[in-house]
Amino acid sequence: MEYRTLGSLNVSLVGIGCNNFGWRTDAVGTASVVDAALDAGVNFFDTADCYGAGQSEEFLGRALKGRRGKAIIATKFGMKMGEGMEGARPSYVLQALDASLRRLGVDVIDLYQIHRPDAHTPIAETMQALNDVVKAGKVREIGCSNFSAEQIRAARATPGPGYFASVQNEYSLFKREPEADVLPECARTRVGFLPYFPLANGLLAGKYRKGKPFPESSRGKDEFGPKVFTSGNLERVEKLIAFAESRGHTLLELAVSWLAARPEVPSVIAGAKTADQVRANARAASWKLTAEDLAEVDRLLGA
């Protein structure tokens, strides 16, 4: 496993997205995923207080008990957790952080992220609160999610000793909006870019093929299906599969390695429900794409 720098942290190039924990995956399943991740050299676990209504953090904390030193834990706050429990006002930053620390069963969170911008709270107030919890030793690094380049710049313009070490936005072969402004901003300011939904809601996992039925209990049959699994997208998937297989690789390996080819990306956050998925994800970043490979992928996608 390759490791890269995210602020002061050293994170595995493939991370585990923990949004399934407490929702699609119970405590036993979570422990199996975490065990497989650590065995594969994965040390970066990304969750949020709202995942599984708090159970994702609880299950992750239990699974890591006694092995805290082997893991880099990232979590998020800001989504609605109850009446009056959302946003990024300073008092709620402290409240949400203490709740996450309790659920995770840890003394410090490695990366604490604003889950989305809060239009009702000046960013300077939020940044002051985040700097305060870093100073208090409860958080090592701070980050943001779903922020535009303009919002990242506004946060950086606030007075204070610490700024975002990372931004976590959707990015994949099929979702390339960050290339217009957020990725250049990350490159300019040395902020790490953490892509979520790297497999485009499962479209790039390799199990969805044109003209073939979708697997049972798959994302192709949930609310994402009609928007993601279109005939046009499945045609592009077939082109990408042919490209990857012609070079001895899978579509999954292409999807993850393509993101890993960006120097701004310290870790590719991929969700997993089983140990086998974890192991496949961990192997997927090993393909070192050449400039010619990247250009051919752009041509296939019409980018």
Q: How far apart are CA 166 and CA 163, in angstroms?
A: 9
What residues contact residue 289 under an 8 Å CB cut-off, 6+ apart? 257, 258, 261, 297
Catalytic choice (3, 51, 112, 163): 51
Task: Mark out the alpha helices in the chain (DSSP H runs).
Answer: 27-39, 55-63, 90-104, 123-135, 149-156, 182-189, 225-228, 231-246, 251-260, 275-283, 291-301
Contact present, 172 and 197 (Cβ < 8 Å)? yes
From the list 65, 132, 59, the residue with the least C-alpha distance to 93 is 132
Q: Note if 51 is an active site residue.
A: yes
Sign of the dihedral through C-alpha 277, 141, 50, 262: negative
User: Catalytic amino acids?
Assistant: 51
